[in-house]
Amino acid sequence: MKVRHNKGGGDEKVELQMTPMIDIVFQLLVFFIMTFKIVSQEGDFNIKMPLAAPAAGAPDDLQLPPMKVRLRADADGMLAGMSLNDTGVPTMKDLRIRIIGFVGDDRGPGSIQETAEVELDCDYGLRYEHVIQAITAVSGDIDGAGNVVKLVEKIKFAPPRQPAGG
Partner 1 sequence: MRVAKKTSEGILEGDLTPMIDMTFQLIAFFMVLINFSQAEQNEEIQLPDSQLAKPPDGPLEFPITIHLTTEGMAIIGAQKVPIAALSPFLVKEKQVLASQGKGANEATIIIRAHRDAQTGHVQELIQKCQENDFEKFALRAKEDVGNN
**Would you tell me which residues interact with partner 1 (CB under 8 A)?**
18, 21-22, 25-26, 28-29, 32-33, 35-37, 39-51, 71, 73, 77, 122-133, 135-136, 139-140, 142, 148, 157, 159-161, 163
In angstroms, rounded to a whole number, what is the distance separating the alpha carbons of residues 143 and 37? Answer: 31
Burial (0-12, 13-18, 19+ Cβ within 10 Å), 80: middle
Q: Which is nearer to partner 1, 73 or 99 (CB)?
A: 73
Strands of the sheet containing 154-157, edge to edge, are 87-88, 79-84, 67-73, 117-122, 154-157
Task: Provide the CA 3 distance to its chain's centre, in angstroms.
Answer: 72
**Those residues with Cβ within 8 angstroms of residue 108's Cβ, 6 or more apart along the chain or in another chain:** 114
Looking at the chain, how many residues does it have? Answer: 166
- Which H/E stretch holds residue 134? helix 128-139
